[in-house]
Amino acid sequence: MDFEFSEEHRIFRVSIRSFAENEIGPLVDEAEKNERFPVELFPKMGKLGYLGLCYPEEYGGAGADTITECICAEELARVCLGITSAVFIPSMSGVMEIYKFGSEEQKQDYLVPTIRGKKIPAVAITEPDAGSDVSSIKSTARKAGDRYVLNGSKIFITNAPIADYIVVVAFTDKDKGIEGMSLFIVDRDTHGLGVSRLKKMGSKSVETGEVILEDCSIPEKNIIGKEGGAFSRILEGLNRGRVTVAARYVGLAEAAYEAALKYSKERVQFGKPIGKFQSISFKLADMATEIEASRFLVYRAAWLYDKGSKCRKEASMAKLFATEMVQRVTGEAVQIHGGYGYMMEYPVQRYFRDAKVGTLHEGTSEIQRTIIAREIGL
Ligand SMILES: Cc1cc2nc3c(=O)[nH]c(=O)nc-3n(C[C@H](O)[C@H](O)[C@H](O)COP(=O)(O)OP(=O)(O)OC[C@H]3O[C@@H](n4cnc5c(N)ncnc54)[C@H](O)[C@@H]3O)c2cc1C
């Protein structure tokens, strides 16, 4: 592997870490307690260019590589996973399709304000009866004159309660099967669009919702690209998404590890810091090793993606390993804290609760294993 971080990557890490600690850190407790995303972060991050790292400069982006995006995801999630999930929607599949396939008008009306933090996006693919199996969605978009009429329901949608617009996947032609899906931009104030909040066990600072589309009539120009083909277009974007998602869990694990390491030096039992007991020091040694292994998988996959190399297997391995690793590391961080780790005053309980979602979204662990098995010829 020839990969190494450039000077630019290193400088970026220093600046995004400082932003995360100083600008996001103070907002976390209240956002987690109230289960409300601090929306003022969008324009703030937009101004600094953090929301459009992967987009070209002509649309207000930074034209940065996936390695830079992973550094951003890792450093933000080290401070707060929930907030990271919300601010990464602008660069994930769905919004990315506006850049890749949308009209110039859509780019100016939606992508540019999104990158500036002036419009908040959500992307709605999952439905109550269609999660891992996206092909079984039921939402439809029927052409009616110069408009489309959308019907259906979506669930677990990140940012839905605060979104200015929602990118929705729906069938325009069911007879074409999976190829009959299209992507639409639905404005928040569209008549017939209903959004309700869902309560979660973790990542409470990101708002997640259910979306109902009841005869939502939207202008024809709100289709992204042409009719059909949405499924394969989204699938194409998944590799990059999986790698940046994996990077978030490396950051979350790092936070748990740092807290546990510090505590192991401070907590004294039987006359010495608990870190001096081999059973605790070995746990920390394993945690450090697993985090480092995940980091290698993540940045290698990002590097392959940036080079234009095939990286489906590597992206799934990074996502699988990082999100399973973070379960172990956050669990051990609580264990090292003893009873204090179970108390709300200590952040390790949040890391532990936040970690769980990693193996569920952006392709569950079972789906990642299915992809890897296929890639190794099974
Ligand atoms: C906090 C959160 C935020 C989310 N944000 C968004 C969002 O912004 N937009 C969006 O569209 N979706 C979002 N999702 C949805 C997420 O992508 C789905 O939850 C995910 O795809 C899994 O679908 P499901 O929950 O319906 O589980 P299911 O697909 O019903 O899976 C249930 C179980 O069966 C297993 N399983 C399913 N199929 C197979 C198979 N073929 N082989 C082996 N095992 C299998 C799964 O791995 C899992 O363990 C979010 C979910 C969460 C929890």
Q: Give the domain CATH number at 218.
A: 2.40.110.10
Q: Is 366 in the pocket of ligand 1 (CB under 6 A)?
A: yes
With a 6 Å cutoff on the Cβ, whether 361 touches ligand 1 is yes
Residues in contact with 358: Cβ distance below 8 Å, sequence separation at least 6, in sequence order: 245, 248, 249, 252, 322, 323, 326, 327
Note whether 140 and 152 are within 8 A (CB).
yes
Residues 63 and 165 in one domain: no
The residue among 177, 208, 228 that closes a domain is: 228
Strands (E), 188-281: 193-197, 208-219, 223-224, 268-269, 272-273
Give 328 or 234, the one with higher predicted confidence: 328
* Distance of alpha carbon 56 from alpha carbon 64, whole angstroms: 8
- What is the CATH classification number for the domain harbouring 279? 1.20.140.10
Distance CA 209, CA 197 (A): 4
pLDDT at 4: 86
- The two tokens of residue 246 are 């994996």
362 is catalytic: yes
Nearest residue to 49 via CA among 69, 78, 29: 69
Q: 135: Cβ below 6 Å to ligand 1?
A: no
**Percent residues over pLDDT 70 in the chain:** 99
Domain with 13 in it: what CATH number? 1.10.540.10
Per-residue pLDDT, averaged over 238-267, amounts to 97
To which residue do tokens 């979350």 refer? 252
Task: Give me the mean pLDDT over the 13-33 stretch.
Answer: 98
Probe target for ligand 1 pocket from 81, 126, 370, with the most ligand atoms within 8 Å of CB? 126
For 317, counting Cβ atoms within 10 Å of its Cβ (0-12 exposed, 13-18 middle, 19+ buried), the class is buried
Residue 35: which region, alpha, beta or left (left: phi > 0; alpha: psi -120 to 50)? Answer: left
In a domain, residue 270? The reply is: yes
Give the pLDDT confidence score for residue 57 in this predicted structure: 96
What are the pLDDT digits (tens) for 149-159? 999 999 999 99
**223 domain residue, yes or no:** yes
Ligand 1 pocket member 6 (CB < 6 A): no
String of b and e for 125-135 (b: at least 16 CB within 10 Å)? bbbeebbeebe
95: containing domain: 7-116
Residues 96 and 195 both lie in one domain:
no
The DSSP call for residue 91 is G
Domain boundary among 228, 252, 267: 228
242-253 residue pLDDT tens: 999 999 999 999
Closest CA relative to residue 319, chosen from 249, 260, 263? 249
CA of 365 to the centre of ligand 1 (A): 10
Answer yes or no: do 166 and 267 share one domain: no
Say how many Å lie between the CA of residue 209 and the centre of ligand 1: 15
CA distance 74 to 66: 12
Domain assignment present for 164: yes
Q: What is the pLDDT of residue 1?
A: 62
Do residue 38 and residue 94 come from a single domain? Answer: yes
Q: Answer yes or no: is pLDDT of 218 > 70.
A: yes
Q: Is residue 2 part of a domain?
A: no
CA of 368 to the centre of ligand 1 (A): 12
Ligand 1 pocket member 359 (CB < 6 A): no
Do 162 and 208 share a domain, yes or no? yes
Task: Indicate whether residue 369 lines ligand 1 (CB < 6 A).
Answer: no
Q: Which of 69, 97, 254, 362 is catalytic?
A: 362
Quick check: 75 pLDDT over 80?
A: yes
Last residue of a domain, one of 82, 116, 150: 116
Q: Are residues 264 and 369 in the same domain?
A: yes
The reply to whether 109 and 138 lie within a common domain is: no
Q: Tell me which residue has its CA closest to atom 7 in ligand 1.
A: 157
Q: Are residues 357 and 307 in the same domain?
A: yes
For residue 85, tell me if it sits in a domain: yes
Examine the domain organization and report whether 177 and 284 are in the same domain: no
Q: What is the pLDDT of residue 236?
A: 82
- 1 located within any domain: no
Q: Are residues 128 and 202 in the same domain?
A: yes
Domain total in the chain:
3
Contact in structure between 252 and 354 (CB atoms under 8 Å): yes
Task: Assign 269 a pLDDT band (cuts: 50, 70, 90).
Answer: very high
Q: Are residues 252 and 352 in the same domain?
A: yes
Nearest Cα residue to atom 25 of ligand 1:
131
Mean pLDDT computed over every residue of the chain: 97
Indicate if 366 and 243 belong to the same structural domain: yes
